[in-house]
């Protein structure tokens, strides 16, 4: 039962982290416009690409941890 609860907490934490990265990706449009004005377009493009990669990794990790929590909870009779 402890493993199930720990996995649920990890799922919540990784989901929040994924949400933060997705907000950063959503805000990248305004950052692109600002970077054109001050000439840092290449740096902003790399930063946006890195944020997208982190968002995808965090989302995948959230799904995998949620699946592990489901399997552990199903096996322990918690579900």
Task: Give the model's pLDDT for residue 76.
Answer: 75
* Global confidence as pTM: 0.79
The pLDDT tens digits of the residues spanning 25-73 come to 888 877 777 777 777 778 878 888 888 999 999 999 999 999 999 999 8
Q: Can you tell me the distance from the alpha carbon of 55 to that of 28, in angstroms, rounded to the nearest whole number?
A: 13
Task: Give the model's pLDDT for residue 21.
Answer: 92
Task: Give the model's pLDDT for residue 33.
Answer: 74
Task: Give the model's pLDDT for residue 79.
Answer: 63
Phi and psi at 2, nearest 5°, equal -65, -40
């Amino acid at each position: 039962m402890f493993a199930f609860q720990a996995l649920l907490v990890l799922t919540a934490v990784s989901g929040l982290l994924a949400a933060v990265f997705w907000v950063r990706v959503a805000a990248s449009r305004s950052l692109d416009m600002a970077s054109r004005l001050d000439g840092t377009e290449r740096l902003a493009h790399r930063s946006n690409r890195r944020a997208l990669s982190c968002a995808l990794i965090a989302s995948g990790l959230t799904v995998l941890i949620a699946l592990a929590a489901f399997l552990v909870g199903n096996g322990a009779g918690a579900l």
